[in-house]
Amino acid sequence: MEKFKFRAECLRDVEELIRVINHGGMEVNMTFFDLPDLEVTVLTHHSLETLIEEANRIDDCHVIAQTIQPIMEYTGEREWSRSGV
């Protein structure tokens, strides 16, 4: 399993991603820093590419798609090319 970190605009976005990718179990930790914004770490068997694809399929989860990185590479900066927003 791999650990990833990302930013999200609100808890609903995180809940939607978890609902879509929670196959085979996962670990999720959230840090709220400027409500409703939060940072999330997930331990999952999914690849980075799959997580980006799934976040892009969920309405208004572009911040997740744009910021998710393996935890050791996470900066919190948005990668604008990762979504159509």
pLDDT tens for 16-64 read 999 999 877 889 999 998 888 999 999 999 999 999 999 999 999 999 9
Q: Can you give the pTM of this predicted structure?
A: 0.91
- pLDDT tens-place string over residues 60-80: 999 999 999 999 999 999 999
Pairing of strands 69-70, 2-8: antiparallel
The tokens for 55 are 């976040």
Given CA atoms 80, 2, 30, 25 in this order, what sign does their dihedral have?
Answer: positive
Domain 2-82 has CATH 1.10.3470: no
Average pLDDT estimate for 4-11? 96
Measured CA to CA, the distance from residue 60 to residue 43 in angstroms comes to 23
Helix (H) / strand (E) element for 62: namely: helix 62-67
Q: Could you state, in order of their start, the residue ranges of all structural domains in the chain? A: 2-82
